Amino acid sequence: MSASLNPSSLPFSPQPSATALAQALGVPVFAPQWHMPQYPDGAVGPWQMKRMGVGMDRGYYSGPCVTSGSTLLLRQGSEGRWETWMSLSPMEVESQELACHHARGHTVVMGLGMGWVAANMALQPSVNRVTVVERDGDVLELFRRCRVLEGLPQSAAAKVELVQADALQWQPPGAPVDFLYADIWLHLAEPQALAEVQRMQANVRAAQVYFWGQELVLGAMARVQAEPGTPPWPDAVDRAVHDTGLPLLAQTEAGYPHLITRVLESCSARAAVR
């Protein structure tokens, strides 16, 4: 297959039925401005990449929207059940875009997933190297078969290095790390997530750290001292960041405490409709 026909390089565009549904419901179509690889269906070992049709969803911090052509990374468990480990859903994309915005220099990504984050980090001019640490050889092989990096300019694709290793044990071989992003969990804000990020950082010693679901972890810590949106909330968030002992990425244009409040509200609304 020629590079011009590579599915990973095709531009994102919503299906016509998605636009009609969005207009009927009065909600937007999810149309991110990021590079969105168009993954082909495929499988390696217990892992499967599967394209989806049109549906409704909610973002990590935004409201309801219509989705179109999202892709799922599924894993079949020992009992035959399929679990979604990653997707290009609004929740997944919005929960990782802060990492893509702020990645710089030598960036380390713990957990390959679908490779969406690594690809978008490599496209950032502020990034000169992306080291992706993934322990599962089948995930690495599926990523290669999907040819995600072929959808990037050669200068960006050349920044990405895949390393098969355990994220909780890997140490950088000499080169300092400017930014560490961790996403090795099935669910957002799993109870052990913070401790595992602290363990990774002890090995990596990155200048700055961000992890998937960070806002939910910090929100739970801050809520012990204040309610979201109240005057004491920003100070409570600052204390939560300090108490992690990590050099966390904790700034946004609108204010990080405000983002955490939006994430908590959105996740609460998502839980209410289940």
Q: Is the domain of 174 the same as that of 142? A: yes
pLDDT tens for 161-204 read 999 999 999 999 988 999 999 999 999 999 999 999 999 999 99
pLDDT of 54 above 50: yes
pLDDT of 127 above 60: yes
Q: Is the domain of 125 the same as that of 21? A: no
pLDDT of 3 above 80: no
Q: Is the domain of 161 the same as that of 227? A: yes
| Per-residue CA distances from 264 to 59, 191, 248, 259, 272 (Å) | 11, 16, 19, 9, 12
Give the residue from 176, 56, 40, 46 showing the smallest Cα distance to 105.
176
At a CB cut-off of 8 Å and minimum separation 6, what does 128 contact?
105, 106, 159
pLDDT of 7 above 50: no
Split into its structural domains, the chain has a count of 2
Average pLDDT, integer, range 76-90: 93
Query: According to the model, what pLDDT value does residue 78 have?
Result: 86
Radius of gyration of the chain (CA): 19
pLDDT of 5 above 70: no
Domain-terminating residue out of 88, 105, 128:
88
Query: According to the model, what pLDDT value does residue 204 have?
Result: 98
Domain-terminating residue out of 88, 122, 146:
88
Q: Is the domain of 7 the same as that of 80? A: yes
| Mean confidence (pLDDT) of the chain | 92
Average pLDDT, integer, range 127-134: 98
Residue 272: pLDDT band (50, 70, 90) is confident
Query: According to the model, what pLDDT value does residue 271 have?
Result: 80
d(CA 211, CA 248): 9
Give percent of the chain with pLDDT exceeding 70.
93
Q: Is the domain of 78 the same as that of 108? A: no
pLDDT of 65 above 80: yes
pLDDT of 258 above 80: yes
- Domain around 127: 93-272
Q: What is the token pair recorded at 22?
A: 């969005």
pLDDT of 38 above 90: no
Between 143 and 8, name the one with better pLDDT.
143
Q: Is the domain of 84 the same as that of 168? A: no
Query: According to the model, what pLDDT value does residue 174 have?
Result: 85
pLDDT of 219 above 90: yes
pLDDT tens for 94-116 read 999 999 999 999 999 999 999 99
Q: Is the domain of 82 the same as that of 107? A: no
Q: What is the CATH number of the domain that holds 124?
A: 3.40.50.150
Neighbours of 50 (CB within 10 A): 16
Residue 14: pLDDT band (50, 70, 90) is low
Q: Is the domain of 124 the same as that of 203? A: yes
Domain-terminating residue out of 54, 69, 88:
88
pLDDT of 1 above 50: no
Query: According to the model, what pLDDT value does residue 254 have?
Result: 74
Give per-residue burial for 78-89: e unless 16+ CB within 10 Å, then b: eeeeeeebbbbb
Q: Is the domain of 97 the same as that of 230? A: yes
Greatest mean pLDDT among 8-22, 55-69, 127-141 lies in: 127-141
pLDDT of 6 above 80: no
Q: Is the domain of 258 the same as that of 154? A: yes
Q: Is the domain of 143 the same as that of 204? A: yes
Sign, CA torsion 141/146/148/153: positive
Task: Write the Ramachandran bin of 78: left for phi over 0, alpha for psi from -120 to 50, otherwise beta.
Answer: alpha
Q: Is the domain of 175 the same as that of 101? A: yes
Contact present, 263 and 215 (Cβ < 8 Å): yes
